Amino acid sequence: GENVEQHPSTLSVQEGDSAVIKCTYSDSASNYFPWYKQELGKRPQLIIDIRSNVGEKKDQRIAVTLNKTAKHFSLHITETQPEDSAVYFCAASTTGTASKLTFGTGTRLQVTL
Amino acid sequence: SAVISQKPSRDICQRGTSLTIQCQVDSQVTMMFWYRQQPGQSLTLIATANQGSEATYESGFVIDKFPISRPNLTFSTLTVSNMSPEDSSIYLCSVEGGAWYGYTFGSGTRLTVV
């Protein structure tokens, strides 16, 4: 089955700096890669996703890149703000009737003033 | 995207008892997923529930411990049976919202077994 590794487990940045979180996956059949933000006591919220026919996707301060050959994808947050502090999870899945999300281990991002 | 109502939001249960968690979706969905999130950990898929067929369980999870019902395309239940303190976790249901919306999650059930 799919295995998703995520690094780093914790990340502390100063407000205004950029943050990068990296994930690798094992199943070459995976073609959908979402990123979730989970604040304390809340449900995971989808913040951005990318599909395997695209190499990069951007939404305001958030961007995701995908390297299918190397089987890795990354989340980039620019101009970080204190409200970006949360746990971020990457995930991978195939699409179709057998689809299911496999999550990375999570990155706790702390944005300091 | 789909809106999921999950209940209860939290419960404290005695060991050896069972708890049934319910998820109601505001639209018809083919598959519903049940996850466990242990304290400070990532989300682990328990099983996939399709309407009209047996749920598909992931390695390490069995039907006797986590029976699932899926009576229609908008509703599912997960039961945590014969609970022990090790079952204390957050349990979340999830659905795929379609190509444009990805997977969305219920608000979760925080279970404490004493």
Residues A33 and A23: their CA atoms lie apart, in Å, by: 10
Which of B96, B101, B107 faces A43 most closely, judged by CB atoms? B107
Q: Which two tokens stand for residue B38?
A: 């242990």
> How close B30 gets to chain A, by Cα (Å)?
9
- CA distances B52 to A55, A104, B73, B96, B111, Å, are 38, 31, 9, 18, 28
What one-letter code names the amino acid at A58?
A: K
The pLDDT tens digits for A31-89 are 999 999 999 999 999 999 999 888 999 999 999 999 999 999 999 999 999 999 999 99
Interface contact B45-A97, CB threshold 8 A: no
Q: Which two tokens stand for residue A31?
A: 């073609």
Residues A87 and B38: their CA atoms lie apart, in Å, by: 14
Residue bearing the bigger pLDDT, A20 or A2: A20
Interface contact B42-A104, CB threshold 8 A: yes
| Segment-wise mean pLDDT, segments of 10 residues, chain B, 114 residues | 93 98 94 95 95 90 97 96 97 82 91 98
Count of Cβ atoms closer than 10 Å to residue A113 Cβ: 7
Residue A97 has pLDDT above 80, yes or no: no
Residue B50 makes CB contacts below 8 A (sequence gap 6+) with B30, B31, B56, B70
- Chain A residues with CB inside 8 Å of B45's CB? 100-102
Q: State residue B51's pLDDT score.
A: 82
Q: Which two tokens stand for residue A52?
A: 């395997």
Nearest of A101, A79, A78 to residue A30 by alpha carbon: A101
Determine the residue of chain A that is closest to B106 in CA distance: A43
The torsion region of residue B40 among left (phi > 0), alpha (psi -120 to 50) and beta comes to left
Q: State residue A94's pLDDT score.
A: 85
Handedness of CA A22, A29, B32, B79 (dihedral sign): negative
Residue B28, judged by CB atoms within 10 A of its CB (0-12, 13-18, 19+), counts as exposed
- Chain A residues with CB inside 8 Å of B104's CB? 46
> How close A17 gets to chain B, by Cα (Å)?
26
Q: State residue B100's pLDDT score.
A: 61
Residues B3 and A84: their CA atoms lie apart, in Å, by: 24
The DSSP bridge pattern shows strands B10-13 and B75-80 to be unpaired
Which of B30, B42, B48 faces A103 most closely, judged by CB atoms? B42
Q: State residue A68's pLDDT score.
A: 94
Flag whether residue A35 sits within 8 Å of chain B, measured between CB atoms: no
Flag whether residue A54 sits within 8 Å of chain B, measured between CB atoms: no
Which of A1, A44, A49 faces B105 most closely, judged by CB atoms? A44
